[in-house]
Amino acid sequence: MANLPDPIQNAASAFDGLPGVGPRAALRYAYFLVTQPREVVERFARSLQSLAEKIRTCDTCGQWSDRSPCNICSDPTRDSSILCVVATSPDIRSVEETGAFKGRYHVLGGTIDPIEGRTPDTLTIRQLLSRITHHPDVKEIILALDTDIPGDVTCLYIRKQLTSIPVKVSRLARGLPTGAALEYADAHTLGDALKNRKES
């Protein structure tokens, strides 16, 4: 990025640090902002500043929020007997969009993956156990984690930690997505569908 004015170079470098954005796309974003009216660029800058200043994690569940406790944790209509354990804050939005869950959440901050430096100590598993222990009204834990190796390892680890606590532990059903054809399903997915079959 030689011969570029420092502000353009700095903006492109900032965009280049975003996931999925390469140097060329980052430079296009910087050039685009240069063409915008000053008030548009200032509004964009203020929105980023607001992220840095106002977003925090909820002290109860760990999701991103502008207050603590968050809207879900402070909602008295939510079912406090069911706790849905997710890896990250965006996972909560995915579950909420189904409209099928009315309980509360706990965000782990990722899944166990030693290669990536994520061990049980780096996640909020200890806080989860403490939360369940100190709130005996929690009757069920739903492990809503990805169906990959880190997700499976994390589920197994949490289940083991919960063996001495009288609480039901369940996991999201796995199997064929709606509209899928059997001939295109891999053996693992089809196996899960058979194990999680239900009466029709």
- What is the predicted pLDDT for the residue at 77? 97
Indicate if the pLDDT at residue 189 is higher than 60. Answer: yes
As beta bridge partners, residue 171 has: 143
Q: Does domain 6-54 have CATH number 1.10.8.420?
A: yes
Task: Kindly report, as residue ranges, where domains of CATH 3.40.1360.10 are found in the chain.
Answer: 79-171
Class of domain 79-171: alpha beta
pLDDT digits (tens, 9 = 90+) for 85-116: 999 999 999 999 999 999 999 999 999 999 99
Residue closest to 35 by CA, chosen among 22, 46, 44, 24: 44
Task: Kindly report, as residue ranges, where domains of CATH 1.10.8.420 are found in the chain.
Answer: 6-54
Roughly what angle, to the nearest 10 degrees, separates helices 6-16 and 23-35? Answer: 130
- What is the predicted pLDDT for the residue at 1? 55
pLDDT digits (tens, 9 = 90+) for 148-176: 899 999 999 999 999 999 999 999 888 87
C-alpha gyration radius of the chain: 22
